[in-house]
Structure 1
Amino acid sequence: MVTESVLLHPWFIVGAIVVLVAAFAVGYLTRRGSRTPDDVRWVANASYLTELPSFRSRLALFRGGLAAAAALALVGGVAAGVLLARPVDRQTQSAELSTRDIVLCLDVSGSMVGYDAEIVDRFLELVEGFDGERIALSIWNQTSRTVFPLTDDYTLVTEQLTAARDALDFDVSSLDNGSYDPAALDRLLAFVAGTEGGDENSTSLIGDGLASCGLLFDENETERSRSIVLASDNQLIGTPIYTLAEAADFVTARNIGLIGIYSGEVTDTSAAEQKEFEDVIAAHDGLYFEASDPAAVDAIVDRIQSQQAVDLEASPETVVTDRPAAALTVLGLAFALLVVAVWRLRT
């Protein structure tokens, strides 16, 4: 960003100086000349008055006052010209747009709700490590819903992720004994709305969820680095359109990097589900983490930022900020002192 102080209409200063010089010239040329004898009232025995120290002092003070008034008028006129010329700071911002895109892809099936708040906290930590990257959030169960599309508005991203964490911070076991908070349940149902409605016997269709996340990347003709952060327990129930491996093939074929975060409860099948999840991520040159891994966030940020990003030059933007304070201060002081000087001259 380049900042320079300029005058938008500099010719006003020239105009102000010309007007001031013309005014002084007219005043000088039209001043009254030496008085003729007919205009003078003679007083006898008064010639000695001009030799008195008090008279000479007052005369010097009067002439000094006239010179000061003229100088103050000149300074005030130039300051007024500067104000008319409009002093500004002009900032030229040549923005560079980062070309890294990240889609946060979150499983919100029933078996994951108890763990999703922690996952979203990790997402919030990830956002703190980004600068200029575009981020999107997609949630899925039987079907998918885009919470927000790719954006670099980090205020919006943080607000939406915080709302997601609050909605997902729900004790699912409280539904069994009726001790749940109805307002909290309403928040959860409102947040996951749009992720259900398929086969009643299907849930956590991880392959379909991953594939739908792969479709959120736009600007296919632009050279960009693209990554999906997939969070799930891989507890598949039902028959998806894409298996996890097929969905991973689909996204990697589109040059999308894959990062997996595993979380979930321990069950009879969870060990096999976790291993499949890790193996598929590794087979596609991705990174695998457990949600509880304290090194996960830093490693994910490093992985994403290590990917080559092309800086696109955006159209330069010029911001003009008026800076009248200095000239206005000089004008005000000059006017105030001129009034004092003229008043003193009259007395």
Structure 2
Amino acid sequence: MGLANAWILLGLVPVIAAVVVLPRVLRRRRRTDAAVPVAHIGRLTRLPGFVAAVTRMRLTTTAAIVLVGILGATAALLAARPIVTSTEKPATFTRDVVLCLDVSGSMTDVDIDVLARFTELSEGFEGERLALVIFNSSAAQVFPLTDDYDYIAQQLEAVRSSLDGTGEFSDAFGGTLTGEGASLIGDGLASCVLAFDRTGEQRSRSVVLATDNDINGTPIMTVDEAGAFAASRDVRVYGIDPSVAKAGDSDDSAEFQRVVDSTGGEYFVLESADTVPTIVDSIEATEAALVDEKPKVVVTDQPTLLAVLATVLLGGLLVLVWRARL
């Protein structure tokens, strides 16, 4: 334990000097004062009651002086601000996950289920930042990376209700129809990879991509090129395929799985009951990038003990003064 304002204790020096010197000066002054003759005072001073009263007064006065001294020292220590200093080197888990949803016509019937899985996915995380990007012939960001899970749930519900007709049509869907063709998966995946910010920081980055890999049109980037682009940026892709009952049932699903595997991610079928927990476990197990921050000096005030002591001393002094009628 240390003192943040130790210089305050220098103020105790004149106080201590005054307490030591002043009584001596007063005693010398009393000795030089003219004495008042009183007859037979010796008899009075020898009375047991008088002796007891003088003794009690002296003890009480001495105790009061001691209490005042300790109280003053305690107050000075409190004013000097007792502190405890420690050095911490915090480690922060920094996971970023972009939910990437194909909203083309061939996906409309299953997008609601996918969004339900996305909601489950967001509920399984704690501390991760999530974003949602939807794509068709072009990509649109519904919300950027954030760890506000109430906002995430609200936005996922808004997109879901837009798809099933129970809510207003989201403006984000308009941004998915600015190109030619439909379900341009390579372009959509590349856009999702570009949604990651803080590129200069050491952070883990994952894309959870839901698509049936049914391309209609000529994309700027093929699925293979988008997968290679993701891998070049250390982004793992976790694929959710709603078009098949099991992996490899179609050429499109086989290609989808191959691209996902090339990024170090995993491929899942939507109907599998293990899809969501497995994705969460995989991301938490393999995407936990620990970023060691610079050591920080933490200063914590520790006034409690001295404050309690000062309160007890003050209470004792007041009782003593009251009893002694000082």
TM-score (norm 2): 0.80
Summarize the alignment of residues 217-296 of structure 1 with structure 2, pairs less than 5 Å apart.
217-218=196-197, 225-263=204-242, 273-282=252-261, 286-296=265-275
Match of 1:11 among 7, 15, 29: 7
Cα separation, 2, equivalents of 1:159 and 1:19 = 61
1:248 deviation in Å?
A: 1.9
Question: 2:183 aligned with 1:185, yes or no?
Answer: no
Cα separation, 2, equivalents of 1:223 and 1:342 = 66
Question: 2:310 aligned with 1:331, yes or no?
Answer: yes
Match of 1:313 among 276, 281, 292: 292
Say which SS state the counterpart of residue 43 (structure 1) adopts: coil
1:11 deviation in Å?
A: 3.1
- The verdict on how the C-alpha distance between 1:23 and 1:291 changes in structure 2, with shifts beyond 3 A counting, is farther
1:114 deviation in Å?
A: 2.1
Higher relative contact order (CA 8 A, sep 6+): 1
Structure 2: runs of 5+ lacking an equivalent: none
1:334 deviation in Å?
A: 2.6
Summarize the alignment of residues 99-114 of structure 1 with structure 2, pairs less than 5 Å apart.
101-110=96-105, 111=108, 112-114=110-112
- The verdict on how the C-alpha distance between 1:220 and 1:36 changes in structure 2, with shifts beyond 3 A counting, is closer
- The verdict on how the C-alpha distance between 1:236 and 1:246 changes in structure 2, with shifts beyond 3 A counting, is same
What are the Cα deviations for residues 223-250 of structure 1, in whole angstroms up to 9, with x where unaligned?
6654322122334333322232332233
Cα separation, 2, equivalents of 1:318 and 1:264 = 55
Equivalence for 1:159: 150
Question: 2:183 aligned with 1:204, yes or no?
Answer: yes
Equivalence for 2:23: 28
Equivalence for 2:176: 195
Cα separation, 2, equivalents of 1:331 and 1:339 = 12
Say which SS state the counterpart of residue 142 (structure 1) adopts: coil
Equivalence for 1:75: 70
Match of 1:138 among 133, 138, 151: 133
How many pairs are equivalent?
319
Contact 1:231 1:261 in 2 (8 A): yes
1:70 deviation in Å?
A: 0.8
Cα separation, 2, equivalents of 1:70 and 1:116 = 79
Equivalence for 1:177: none
Question: 2:160 aligned with 1:169, yes or no?
Answer: yes
Q: Percent identity?
A: 35
TM-score (norm 1): 0.76
What are the Cα deviations for residues 99-121 of structure 1, in whole angstroms up to 9, with x where unaligned?
65433322234515422321322
- The verdict on how the C-alpha distance between 1:308 and 1:240 changes in structure 2, with shifts beyond 3 A counting, is closer
What are the Cα deviations for residues 45-70 of structure 1, in whole angstroms up to 9, with x where unaligned?
x4333233222221221011111111
Say which SS state the counterpart of residue 27 (structure 1) adopts: helix
The one-letter amino acid of 2:60's match is G
Cα separation, 2, equivalents of 1:280 and 1:94 = 39
Say which SS state the counterpart of residue 314 (structure 2) adopts: helix
